[in-house]
Structure 1
Amino acid sequence: MRDDDWLADFMAAEGLPEDFRTTFEWVCRPLADRAGRLRQVRRRTATLGLCGAQGSGKSTIAAATARLLEARGLTAVALSLDDFYLPAGVRQQLAKEIHPLLAVRGPPGTHDVRLAGATLDQLRAKGRVTLPRFDKAADTRAPRGGWTTLATPVDVVIFEGWCVGARAQGLAALATPVNDLEREADPDGRWRTWVNEQLDGPYQELFARLNSLVLLKAPSFEVVAGWRAEQELKLRERTGQGMAEADIGRFVAHYERLTRWILAEMPERADWTVELDAHRRPVGER
Structure 2
Amino acid sequence: MSKVDAREVEAVVRQVHGALAAARHRPVVTGICGAQGSGKSTLAQAVQERCSAEGLAGAVLSLDDLYLTHAERQDLARDVHPLLATRGVPGTHDIALGLEILDQLEAGGPVALPRFDKARDDRVAERDWPIVAPGCQVLLFEGWCMGAFPQRARDLADPINALEADEDADGRWRRWVNDMLGDSYQRLFARLDRLVMLAAPGFEVVHRWRSEQEGDLAARAGPEAHVMDEGEIARFIAHYERITRVILAEMPARADLVIHLDEARQPLEITAR
Q: How many residues align?
A: 267
- For 2:36, the equivalent position in structure 1 comes to 54
Give the match for residue 184 of structure 1: 166
How many angstroms does 1:162 deviate by?
0.1
Match of 1:261 in 2: 246
How big is the alpha-carbon RMSD for the aligned residues of Structure 1 and Structure 2? 1.4
- The one-letter code matched in structure 2 to 1:73 is G
Q: Is the 8 A contact 1:130 1:150 kept in 2?
A: yes
Q: How does 1:1-286 map to 2 (within 5 A)?
A: 17=2, 20=3, 23-45=4-26, 46-237=28-219, 239=221, 241-286=226-271
Deviates more, 1:272-281 or 1:220-229: 220-229
For residues 148-183 of structure 1, the C-alpha deviation after alignment (integer angstroms, 9 at most, x for no partner) is 122333111110000010000011110010000000
Contact 1:133 1:147 in 2 (8 A): yes
Q: Give 1:238 deviation, angstroms.
A: 5.1
Structure 1 residues without counterparts, runs of 5 or longer = 1-15
Equivalent pairs: percent with the same residue? Answer: 49
In structure 2, stretches of 5+ residues that fail to align are none
The structure carrying a bigger helix percent of its residues is 1
Q: Partner letter of residue 99 of structure 1?
A: H
* 3-state SS of paired residue (1:95): helix
SS in 1 for 2:269: strand
Shift of 1:37: 2.8
Q: Secondary structure at the match of 1:284?
A: strand
Q: What is the identity, as a one-letter code, of the residue corresponding to 1:24?
A: D
Give the aligned residue type for 2:100: A
Q: Secondary structure at the match of 2:159?
A: coil
TM-score by length of 1: 0.90
Question: 2:24 and 2:181 mapped to 1: Cα distance?
Answer: 30
Q: How far apart are the structure 2 equivalents of 1:225 and 1:191?
A: 22
Using CA pairs under 8 Å that are at least 6 residues apart, name the structure with larger relative contact order, 1 or 2. Answer: 2
**Alpha-carbon distance, 1:50 to partner:** 0.5
The verdict on how the C-alpha distance between 1:154 and 1:237 changes in structure 2, with shifts beyond 3 A counting, is closer
Per-residue displacement from partner, 1:31-82 (whole Å, max 9, x unpaired)? 1122023213324321111001100000010011011101100011111001
Instruction: Tell whether the 8 Å contact from 1:122 to 1:152 is kept in structure 2 after alignment.
Output: no
2-side partners of 1:245 and 1:80: how far apart? 25
